Amino acid sequence: MASDTSNESTDTLRRRGIFAGALATIAALVVGRSSPAAAQTGQPLLIGTKNTAEMETSLELIQDPSIPPDPCFGATQGASMAGLGGAPIGDIVRRFPASTSGKQFTSAAVAGMHDGQVGAFGYGGPAGVGVWAASEGFVANWGASLTGVGVLGQTYPAVGPGPQTYPASGVLGIGGSAPGIWGKSNSSIGAWGVSDTAQGVVGQTGQSGSGPVQYPTQIAGVLGIGGGGQTGVWGVANGGGIGSWGQSADGIGVSGESANRIGAWFKVGNVTVDPKTLESAALHTTAQGGHVSTCARADTGVALMAETSDPKGTGLMIETPAGGVAIMAMGRIVSSEIMLQNVAKGTDATYTPCIDINPNSHVSIMLRSDVGAVVSWVELLLGNGIIVHFDRKTRAAGTFTYAVSEMMAAAR
């Protein structure tokens, strides 16, 4: 009886045009049948032997007037389906209208559906291509998922036992000893990420633990996260190019920030300085040999500006070893700390307040008019001011300017 049933199914399939005289081809098909000894284990169909199975496998030509009249071979078993040729996919694609730019698909060259499992799987062996797609005018390889991963590219991952969970994403690349995602272009953009409300591209390294990455609140085109003391974003340029470049029309071109160490560090030459030995600063620049550590240029603006909001702070501090030049100026020096003081007629001393006076302060005095007397000495009132003493009483009123220079050791 089993033999008659098998012959009857073969005749039916032959009438539908599946075999078309190529009986040798059916030997390569795995249709869920099994030999009597393995009827319940899903072993392949064995040609030349009696085969029985309780699960029914249907092989048929898909006749659907809504798809192009391409020959389509289809295999279905329960909720699973595989199609070759003009396989219908309209119901599936309509669930993702935004991802297809409104284009309606009704059929596919290869279609696979298996609820909860792999719809289509390709394996290329040790040196082949697992899955390859090509398109002359539209999408070659398209992946979409409502809550999971649209396209997953994985190479050499360190996956432990049990199911692996992935964050929901359009494209997810996982690389063990190789890049997770590599983008390359000879004349255009290698890899481009765009987001209206979140980060365009996120690069992460050295992150320990699991769970979602805690992004900063600021939206960024490229966000680099370096965990475990690693580098968040690294820019390299060979030859005369730019390693890392930032541009902004009305905002910040490049910004560096650190919670308690160094916001940004720029170096030139063979710098072997350990960054952990540097002072905590928003910006550090280091140059070796005859290079310039920091060069600031401006057309009509300010080349270099140093400012502090606290009166006890220091706007600009320069340290140089003995014999070195702390400041070399080629041009005028303008200072708001060169001040003007009035001199009354008939006085031999004039008091001027100045709270910055310390024991090592140097005061320079220049008379701006002839008052009939000359400056004999300057008395320092520590933390209070100065008294300018004249050699005699002045015969006329006038003015003088003064400037105070302080020794750093005393100022600290």
Tens-digit pLDDT profile for residues 111-124: 887 878 888 888 88
* C-alpha–C-alpha distance, residues 32 and 41, integer Å: 9
* C-alpha–C-alpha distance, residues 347 and 329, integer Å: 38
Strands 339-343 and 375-381: unpaired
For the ranges 106-110, 148-152, 313-317, 406-410, the lowest mean pLDDT is seen at: 406-410
- Claim: this prediction has a pTM higher than 0.85: no
Q: What pLDDT does 210 receive?
A: 52
Say if CB 404 and CB 361 are below 8 A apart.
Answer: yes
Q: Which letter does DSSP use for residue 163 in this model?
A: P
**What is the 3-class SS of 354-373, one letter each residue?**
CCCCCCCCEEEEEECCCCCC
Place of tokens 């289509």: 120
Q: What pLDDT band is residue 406 in, cutting at 50, 70 and 90?
A: confident
Q: What pLDDT does 150 receive?
A: 86
Q: Per-domain residue ranges for the chain?
A: 252-308, 339-411
Q: Which is more confidently placed, 76 or 278?
A: 278
Tens-digit pLDDT profile for residues 309-356: 998 888 998 989 999 999 999 988 887 778 899 999 999 999 999 888
Which of 48, 39, 38 has its CA nearest to residue 3? 48
Percent above pLDDT 90 for the chain: 30
Which of 243, 169, 162, 237 has its CA nearest to residue 204? 169
Tens-digit pLDDT profile for residues 77-91: 666 777 777 777 777
* C-alpha–C-alpha distance, residues 73 and 61, integer Å: 5
Q: Is 99 exposed, middle or buried (0-12, 13-18, 19+ CB in 10 A)?
A: middle
* C-alpha–C-alpha distance, residues 212 and 166, integer Å: 10
Say if CB 35 and CB 47 are below 8 A apart.
Answer: no
Alpha carbon distances (Å) from 301 to 35, 50, 68, 226: 88, 93, 68, 36
Q: Stretch 365-372: mean pLDDT, rounded? A: 95
